[in-house]
Structure 1
Amino acid sequence: MSVLGCIIYRHNLWLVVVALLICGAGSWVTARLVLRAFATRSLQRFGWSFIAAVVAAADIWCTHFVAMLGFEPGVPIAFDPVLTIASLLIALVGSIAGFVLATSRVSRAAPALGGAIVGLAVALMHYAGMLAYRVEGVVIWNRTLLVLSIVFAVGLCALALHRAGVAAGEPGEAARARSRGNAAALVVAGVLALAIAALHFTGMTAFQVVPLAIDGHFSNPAALHALALAVACMALVIAGSGCVSFLLDDSVRAESVEHLRTMAMSDMLTGLPNRANFNARIDAELARADDSRKLALIGIDLNRFKEINDLHGHHAGDEVLRILARRLASLVREDEFVARVGGDEFVAFTRFATRDELADLLERLETALYRPIRYDDAEVISGASLGVAIYPDDATSKTVLINNADLAMYRAKADLTQSVCFYEPAMDEIARERRSLTHDLREALARGQLSVHYQVQTSITTGDICGYEALLRWEHPRLGFISPAKFIPLAEENGLILGIGAWVLREACTRAVAWSPPYKVAVNLSPVQFAHADLPKLVETVLVETGLAPERLELELTETAIFADRERSLDVLQRIKAIGVNLALDDFGTGYSSLDTLRSFPFDKIKLDQSFVNEAETSRQATAIIRAVLALGKSLGIPVLAEGIETQDQLTLLANEGCDEVQGFLLGRPAPLSQIVASGQLSLLADDEPVVDVARP
């Protein structure tokens, strides 16, 4: 009879099958767990190694114990409880030591060495269990088979963990290890199961019993079989627990990955899809574009979001964005998408077969964006400008489609009569003109093609000149005179205003030093310049370089410029005042016109906006506002200068109301300094004449 036949003949076939099931299931779970240990780091690696070791120890010991209970030596048997428990501890301790070493990656040989320790633990456990196996007979060992069984256990376990280490790859390749985990687990589990089975059955073949006839000694096969089934159930429970922990980790890992993906593709403030999500979706939509249904891209920019932030604070702005995001998310339907792509900018797209379908979405968007929003006790209406570009009518690529939607949106923002604007080819020409003009403006600054004109400011009671306001002018070589209302916004958008503003300040101060009489010179500050430049340092440097007395310089800024960051603005203005420079609040009456601004900030003059002066002759409300501003100035001890005086009636009205100073075409148009000198309003000191600045203390 063959060795295998002898083994089967001396075992209970059913318990052999149970033992093999335990061995196979336990080895599979152990393989998956040890592969997970190889794919993780630090404490996680130790944790997975420990779980793998516990499952492996239970697998090894229970396979051995069930197979032992299924062994039929033909004589009464019993088990030594101490040695039986010791065999379990040997399996547990040896497995922990082996798996921890194997997954430690202290060297390239660590997995094989750890596997060898596990194999040795399997062998020691087996033979400790055999010592605990008491039979009524003489035990004879075949030493060759005994040594061979140990070689099988050590060699195959070393091979199994070596294969696991190879499958896991180098450190940091966890994702690749998981992608090929099933195939690797099959190989590792098969080798582990072979190691356990080969050890047991080879060792049992080496075990021979010569029966001794002793009266009154017998075994209870039913009790032994029941014990075997109980051990088998416990082994499967332990293996199942390891499997469940693995599956739970996979589930948690998948949920974490999904959560991270959601976070990466969602806007944190509003919960809407973000720019990355939008780019992915629009790519997918363009890839499946067809002739029957076109794709409309809608760029959305809120109209009054900065004003909401300035008046109510950034918390209010954030809440407005969240409310609008909820409205937009609730209105989208199938084949529609909306995302927040940054700041107060949103984007939407939809597939449509007819213009009516597109018009329906635009109407829903407008309704949501223009509906009033309640915040605390205030009600705000943000409103928005919407630009629409259609694929493939207006563009054949994503980049061009987005650019065209932006162009249409900017046109809608500039047009006060409509909130939705569709892209037109002429917009490209306008955009090119703006880019060209921006380039020319940059060249004009570099080549000294900009100039400063001066407009006189006069005392309304005496008619005496109080000073001049420096106004930037640009004579384009080809296009002629360019209005400041056209090129100043371009300079602010493209960052040129910082260089231009510094040049105007230095030019005005340089020219004013030579004026006789030493009138004041007023220079406007852009909100962008005020927010980004180290203004006090610039002002002080220019005054030192030019020699102009600080009291002769007056800086004009609007209330809008200081609202973005009131604390910083107050610090900047106080530092400028400490230098000795005067400050004027420009365009008062428009924008916010807060009394708290006059109370909090150190202004020396209020400039009444010209729109009220223009309407004063026909509007009682404008006249009332003029009176109120003049009364406010007198009560605070701040002189008021009215801008835009073009008629004698306007001048008479302001004189009757007690205005301090005036400025406008009636009194003098902006002109080059040479023309003002030629008119005799002021003269210039000769180059060799010492500068005695009477305004300097």
Structure 2
Amino acid sequence: MAEKRRGNWGEGELYDALCVLMIGVCGWIIGVQFQVFAAFNAFILAHALSDHLMLGFFMGLAMFAVSLRKSLQLRRAMRERDVTAARAEAIARHDALTGLANRRLFLEAIEAHRAEAGPVPAAAVLLVDLDRFKPVNDLYGHAAGNAVLCAVADRLNALLPPRGVAARLGGDEFAMLVSLDGSDALARLAQAVIASISGPVLWNGNELKVGATVGVALVAREDADAEVVLHAADLAMYQGKKDGRGTFRVFKSAMDVELRARAQLEGALRAAIQSGEIEPFYQPVVSLPGRELIGVEVLARWRHPERGLLAPAQFIPIAEETGLIADLSYRLLRQACLDARDWPAHLQIAVNIAPQQFQDAWLCERILAILTETGLPPHRLEVEITETALVQDLEAARTTLTSLQNLGVRIALDDFGTGYSSLYHLRELKFDKLKIDRRYVDTITMSDERAKLVDAIIKLSASLGLVTTAEGIESDASLDWLAGQGCDFGQGYLFGAPMPKGEMDFLLTRSSEPAEPRKVA
């Protein structure tokens, strides 16, 4: 483009020079035809003006040369300005790392298609969000993350149909704008994108693996603008994430309704945390086989003013995604510590700490502040973490857990057997307890394979000097089997459902009453 512009400027200068020469020639012809020069020469000779005329001629020639030089400099500056402007425009409309179009250029492309759209949509947007990208950055560093982003850009370009546009919208979010050639072709393209991105990226001898979830939205004339189209694709992508990731979803109007409902729930959740509508419920934990009450697990329940009592599955994921989980967890912990002060001194309370909270360098200090404020001894608190927290940042987890154990707080690995933990994690992090997930416990009396797995976990825990708690015990048969295999503790509906403080107080009062003597006949 710059060479073409330089060529245009050269042609313009030649044209200007020819025009000046033509004007001079025309003046000369007119002067010859009308004898103007003869009279002019006679006038000069009669008045002895030849020296002055020569001086004026050379001064004019010098001025012409100066003007020409300035004109050439101005033209050169204008050319450089145009080249710089073009380069700046290209930078402003493309992603610096991957070279793909950026959000601005992509929206302009969508808008152009939308303006030209007929009654039937002729283009579609595929919004591509990477799965498992954060662990790559955390484990290998940003250089590895950049390598993955560049590899994804290359793979999208390789799959891009003619006249399509690929863009990086920001972070780990990409998009494609393609002409519509039937729904089957669109589905095949979305599946090809997912399959291509799922392939490993080789970096410094490591295989970096990410996945992709794709949201698809058609570009229609009735859409208000390009942002509306992109928002629709984002809703479809979010639905794909919700359905299990690594898949694609096409936008439907019901998704917008669902998202609005979710947004309302987020706002209500924020207010509920502040107002205390979310309260701790307590599920008994007993020793095996005697069933003596040794503690409780703290579980959240939301007393929603319109929807009634909501279980954690209905709001905890939202709290984690919106960053509200830390405030919610600390409030529950504070209230549970206050409640536990009135209970027997041997009872422990177990609380769950979300993986996101392990990114907080002040987690240990915050828990200590709550224990100090409420007066609950640290040895009565047990913190439960899931295996996900270990994968996200092992060193941060090690530092936090060690600090808590130094205070006297016990640490339990929750839902063991369902995540990514290994013998390395068990050896390095020095847990006090393993909790066997309810999905194994439910079927131990019906599945020999599950029974063998649970037996292996119990034996592994004992060999490492850890105690075990089995979750989800609902039958005497399961209880007897677990006790026979050496499981230390149990919890589940067989011993009691999660209950508010009032019911827990009643249960403790009743259990502390002396048994009535039997009547002798």
Same fold (TM over 0.5): yes
* Alignment partner of 1:616 is 2:480: no
Contact between 1:459 and 1:660, CA under 8 Å: does it hold in 2? Answer: yes
Measured on the aligned residues, the alpha-carbon RMSD in Å equals 3.4
Aligned to 1:441: 269
SS at match of 1:463: coil
Moved more, 22-31 or 608-617: 22-31
Give the counterpart letter for 1:280 in structure 2: E
Match of 2:211 among 383, 386, 390: 383
Out of 249, 259, 281, which is 1:453 matched to? 281
The equivalent residue for 1:366 is 194
**Taking structure 1 as reference, are residues 450 and 366 closer, same or farther at Cα in structure 2, changes over 3 Å only?**
closer
Q: Choose 370-379 or 358-367, whichever is displaced more.
A: 370-379
- Residue aligning to 1:672: 500
CA deviations on 1:358-380 (whole Å, 9 max, x unpaired) are 34533442342344545566656
Which residue matches 2:64? 24
Query: What residue number does 2:314 align with?
Result: 486
Give the 3 Å change call, closer, same or farther, for CA 444–12 of structure 1 in structure 2. Answer: closer
The one of 507, 520, 534 equivalent to 2:348 is 520
Unaligned runs of 5+ in 1: 34-180, 183-245, 685-697
User: Quick one: which amino acid aligns to residue 424 of structure 1?
Assistant: K
For structure 2, the 5+ residue unaligned runs are 1-41, 513-521
SS in 1 for 2:158: helix
Shift of residue 581, structure 1, vs aligned partner: 1.8
- SS in structure 2 of the partner of residue 514 of structure 1: coil
Q: 2:428 aligns with which of 592, 597, 600?
A: 600
Cα distance between partner residues in 2 of 1:649 and 1:419: 41
Residue 453 and residue 573 in structure 1: after superposition, are their counterparts in 2 closer, same or farther (change >3 A)? Answer: same
Taking structure 1 as reference, are residues 639 and 671 closer, same or farther at Cα in structure 2, changes over 3 Å only?
A: same
Q: Give the alignment of 1:14-163 within 5 angstroms.
A: 24-30=64-70, 33=73
Determine the C-alpha separation between the residues in 2 that align with 1:361 and 1:6.
Answer: 91
Verify the 8 A CA contact 2:214 2:249 in the aligned structure 1.
yes
Aligned residue for 1:500, secondary structure, equals helix
- Residue in 1 that maps onto 2:359: 531
Distance in 2 (CA, whole Å) between partners of 1:366 and 1:275 is: 21
C-alpha separation between the residues in 1 aligned to 2:486 and 2:119?
71
Segment drifting more, 627-636 vs 448-457: 627-636
Counterpart amino acid of 1:535?
L
What is the match of residue 19 of structure 2?
none
Tell me the CA shift for residue 551 of structure 1.
Answer: 0.8
Give the Å deviation of 1:254: 5.2
Distance 1:644 1:7 in 2: 123
The one-letter code matched in structure 1 to 2:305 is: P
Partners in 1 of 2:347 and 2:46 — Cα distance? 120
1:296-695 alignment runs, 5 A limit: 296-309=124-137, 315-352=143-180, 354-374=182-202, 382-392=210-220, 395-416=223-244, 419-532=247-360, 534-680=362-508
Is the Cα contact below 8 Å between 2:111 and 2:226 reproduced in 1? yes
Shift of 1:511: 0.5
State the Cα deviation string for residues 231-265 of structure 1 (Å, max 9, x = none): xxxxxxxxxxxxxxx56x954x6555544444443
Q: Kindly state the Cα deviation for residue 453 of structure 1 after the two structures are TM-superposed.
A: 0.9
Highest relative contact order (Cα 8 Å, sep 6+), 1 or 2? 2
The farther-off stretch of 574-583 and 377-386 is: 377-386
Q: Indicate the larger mover: 254-263 or 514-523.
A: 254-263
Output the amino acid matched with 1:455: Q
Q: TM-score, normalised by structure 1?
A: 0.61
The letter of the residue matching 1:604 is: D
Counterpart-to-counterpart distance in 1, 2:326 and 2:46: 95
CA contact (8 A) 1:515 1:682 kept: no
How far residue 561 of structure 1 moved from its aligned partner, in angstroms, is 2.2
Local SS of the residue matching 1:468: strand
Could you report, residue by residue, the CA deviation over 1:354-408 in whole angstroms, capped at 9, with x for unpaired residues?
4355345334423423445455666565332211122227833223222221111
Q: Are the equivalent residues in 1 in contact too, given 2:127–2:215 (CA < 8 A)?
A: yes
* Separation (CA, whole Å) in 2 of partners of 1:605 and 1:4: 121
Would you say the 8 A contact 2:114–2:223 is kept in 1?
no
Asked if 2 retains the 8 angstrom alpha-carbon contact of 1:516 and 1:682, the reply is no
> Which residue identity is paired with 2:469?
L
User: How far apart are residue 484 of structure 1 and its match?
Assistant: 0.9
Amino acid paired to 1:644? G
Contact 2:120 2:220 in 1 (8 A): no
Amino acid at match of 1:456: P
Aligned twin of 1:219? none
Asked if the contact 1:297–1:401 (Cα under 8 Å) also holds between the matched residues in 2, the reply is: yes
Secondary structure of the residue aligned to 1:671 is: coil
Q: Is the 8 A contact 1:453 1:673 kept in 2?
A: yes
Q: Which of residues 267, 286, 292 is equivalent to 2:114?
A: 286
